[in-house]
């Protein structure tokens, strides 16, 4: 399963006779499934435009093709040199839909993609190793929210193993946390770089804790204390408009979110050091976490002045019944600095479960060649491919018919 799809014409995803190794390709952006027969018909055409008219699913970024090549590319374009881990495995590919304008899939789109691959695996009566090289920072990181609970549930169906990357937010200055005590105010400093068009900030706390929030502009002007009310609260500080929302309880979430949207009145929000002051009224637990969006959508100068690397896991790698994969840097014999890590907020699991090579990895690229990329997205398919080989040995070859899901997680 990939967010961006796959270059199905790449030699590494084709057999010696030129036919596809892809059993089916489901493109959520087109809301259509392409069968192996349809892909093979397209591959028979020597004209690229005609080929993509017949099967118009593309990988425009190269991310999905690269990930699939690490997990299962057979290396045909390189004479077998750049082959992946499970290089004889058939492929079942999902190109996830995206939510505009940020380009990330909705929770429901990821859930639909997972449901699709499990149903197809049952249809084929084949064990399945699922790769999810995708994650974002939005959510409580509790390990028990809706998406995480769904993934935990679906991992119990059929003979599956799910591997998910922990994200690249480890050194990104996008997370901080603390413990608020009765009678002691705390202040969080947030640096906003120049030419930042917009940012949002999530503060997650226990519903049992009651405290006010004060926001201080880089010029020293302040708003607040902002109290809990229903609906959005709108404020203007300098050239920045602020929208603040207080979250309400939900069946899958024991934590309260205070969501702050920084919007420009003209082109950009005000740069400099913003401060978020927490003023306690009644504290029961006291622990809080704050997250910014992922580093890919922020300017270099934007981040917390005192970041905390723990709990920089992206969602849904926080799910309990998955293999959460970090990135290993073999050049320095250590975890890559960008690799997400830490604990889930409610279940208190230590993540990642293991690390795999994730720095300067050479794999398939759209157009038939290869490219070098880094990230936990590249580390995850090493684990997915390894899980597929274990399941081949255990389930298909009859050495251990229960070598999937919890058993593989235990081995990790």
Q: For residue 4, is it within any domain? A: no
d(CA 91, CA 243): 45
Q: How many structural domains does the chain have?
A: 2
The DSSP line for 363-397 is EEETTTEEEEE-SHHHHHHHHHHHHHHHHIIIIIS
Last residue of a domain, one of 235, 269, 304: 304
d(CA 124, CA 9): 23
Instruction: Return the pLDDT at 111.
Output: 93
Best CA proximity match to 154, nearest among 341, 401, 321, 369: 321
- CB-based contact 338:168 (threshold 8 Å): yes
pTM assigned to the model: 0.93
Instruction: Return the pLDDT at 348.
Output: 83
Give the other-Cβ count within 10 Å of 412's Cβ: 16
d(CA 319, CA 293): 20
Give the chain's residues under pLDDT 50: 101
Strand segments (E) across 193-347? 199-206, 210-216, 222-226, 233-237, 240-246, 255-264, 272-282, 287-291, 303-304, 323-329, 334-335, 342-343
Instruction: Return the pLDDT at 250.
Output: 76
- CB-based contact 69:11 (threshold 8 Å): no
CA dihedral sign of residues 304, 309, 313, 318: negative
Instruction: Return the pLDDT at 163.
Output: 96
Same domain for 126 and 17? yes
Instruction: Return the pLDDT at 306.
Output: 96
We report the CATH number of the domain holding residue 99 as: 3.40.50.200
- CB-based contact 341:166 (threshold 8 Å): yes
Q: For residue 3, is it within any domain? A: no
Instruction: Return the pLDDT at 99.
Output: 58
DSSP code of residue 97: -
Instruction: Return the pLDDT at 97.
Output: 85
Same domain for 179 and 195? yes
Same domain for 294 and 319? no
Instruction: Return the pLDDT at 281.
Output: 92
Give residue 140's domain range.
11-169+314-411
Instruction: Return the pLDDT at 105.
Output: 76
Give the other-Cβ count within 10 Å of 254's Cβ: 16
Q: What does residue 65 show for φ and ψ, rounded to 5 degrees?
A: -65, -40
Instruction: Return the pLDDT at 100.
Output: 56
Instruction: Return the pLDDT at 249.
Output: 74
The tokens of 305 are what? 């002045």
Last residue of a domain, one of 267, 283, 304: 304
């Amino acid at each position: 399963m990939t967010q961006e799809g796959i270059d199905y014409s790449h030699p590494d995803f084709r057999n010696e006779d030129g036919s596809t190794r892809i059993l089916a390709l489901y493109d959520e952006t087109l809301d259509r499934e392409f069968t192996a027969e349809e892909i093979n018909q397209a591959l028979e055409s020597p004209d690229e435009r005609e080929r993509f008219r017949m099967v118009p699913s593309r990988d425009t970024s190269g991310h999905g093709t690269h990930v699939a090549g690490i997990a299962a590319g057979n290396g045909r374009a390189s004479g077998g040199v750049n082959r992946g881990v499970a290089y004889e495995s058939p492929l079942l590919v999902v190109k996830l839909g995206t939510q505009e304008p940020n380009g990330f899939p909705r929770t429901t789109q990821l859930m639909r993609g997972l449901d699709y691959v499990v149903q197809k695996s049952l249809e084929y009566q084949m064990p399945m190793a699922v790769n999810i090289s995708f994650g974002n920072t939005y959510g409580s990181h509790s390990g028990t929210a809706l998406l995480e609970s769904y993934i935990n549930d679906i991992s119990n169906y059929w003979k599956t193993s799910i591997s998910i990357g922990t994200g690249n937010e480890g050194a990104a200055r996008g997370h901080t946390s603390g413990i608020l005590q009765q009678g002691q105010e705390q202040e969080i400093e947030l640096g906003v770089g120049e030419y930042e068009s917009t940012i949002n900030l999530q503060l997650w706390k226990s519903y049992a804790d009651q405290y006010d929030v004060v926001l201080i502009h880089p010029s020293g002007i302040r708003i607040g204390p902002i109290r809990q009310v229903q609906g959005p609260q709108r404020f203007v500080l300098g050239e920045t408009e602020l929208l603040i929302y207080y979250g309400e309880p939900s069946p899958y979430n024991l934590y309260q979110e205070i969501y702050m949207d920084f919007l420009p009145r003209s082109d950009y929000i005000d740069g400099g050091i913003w401060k978020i002051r927490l003023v306690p009224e009644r504290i029961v637990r006291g622990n809080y976490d704050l997250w910014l969006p992922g580093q890919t959508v922020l300017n270099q100068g934007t981040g917390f002045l005192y970041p905390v690397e723990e709990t920089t896991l992206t969602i849904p790698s926080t799910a309990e019944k998955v293999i959460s994969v970090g990135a290993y840097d073999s050049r320095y014999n250590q975890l890559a600095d960008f690799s997400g890590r830490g604990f889930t907020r409610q279940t208190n699991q230590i993540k990642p479960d293991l690390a795999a090579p994730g720095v300067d990895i050479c794999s398939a690229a759209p157009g038939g060649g290869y490219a070098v990329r880094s990230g936990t997205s590249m580390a995850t398919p090493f684990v997915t491919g390894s899980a597929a080989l274990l399941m081949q040995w255990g389930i298909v070859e009859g050495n251990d018919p229960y070598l999937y899901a919890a058993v593989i997680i235990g081995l990790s």
